[in-house]
Amino acid sequence: VRHVLRVGSAVGGTLADYTEFDRKSYFYPDIPKGYQISQYEHPLVSGGTLNGVAITRVHLEEDTARSSHAGGASLVDFNRAGIPLMELVTEPVIKDAKAAGDFARELQLLLRTLGASKANLEKGEMRTEVNISVSKNDTFGTKVEIKNLNSFRSVERAIAYEIERQAALLEEGGTVVQETRGWDEGKQATFRQRSKEGSADYRYFPEPDLPKMIRSEI
């Protein structure tokens, strides 16, 4: 909690005095108990900016297991499951792959400077997920999420590929599906993993086994 508040202060965000945890309900092999402890309506930090990018929120949630896929089989490693994980969400203001990569590098530098994390991507201490939306007009199109990119180069290449994929699909008269995709480093291409839920599908409700927190009373 203190690390998240320090990050919030560094980016000029608003630190919540009242905060609570919520249960985010979904079933996937990396979280077989059927819910993840996260924060929804009352995150620890709201707002702020970093490297010229507006930040929506910074909150705390539990990490899930690590999934790996190879040779037609999937493995799930639960060693990291349940440990605290800081999640930082930006506003949809990043326009290209380079800007996204620059932001991620600046975030890594900030985390290391504050001593909040070593933020080594190759060790999974920092992971990046990108949401990409392409549209023919000024409105936002259907977003696609690419999860767990483990290098800044992969972030930039995955974004560039997905922008081209969605643009080509729309030009052909197709429809972009809201989904979660992975990044294949060998093929330099994204691939479908699963359909993406909306916030209503997660059925958030206050976590009954964790107390509410009032920062001014800590």
User: What would the pLDDT profile of 72-98 be if each residue is shown by its tens digit?
Assistant: 898 999 999 999 999 999 999 999 999
Q: What would the pLDDT profile of 5-21 be if each residue is shown by its tens digit?
A: 999 999 999 999 999 99
pTM: 0.91
Query: How many Cβ atoms from other residues are within 10 Å of residue 167's Cβ?
Result: 15
Output the DSSP codes for 41-72.
SS-SEE--EETTEEEEEEEEEE--PEEEEETT
Residue of 87, 204, 200 lying closest to 148 (CA atoms): 87
pLDDT one-digit tens code per residue, 184-218: 999 999 999 888 666 668 899 999 999 999 999 87
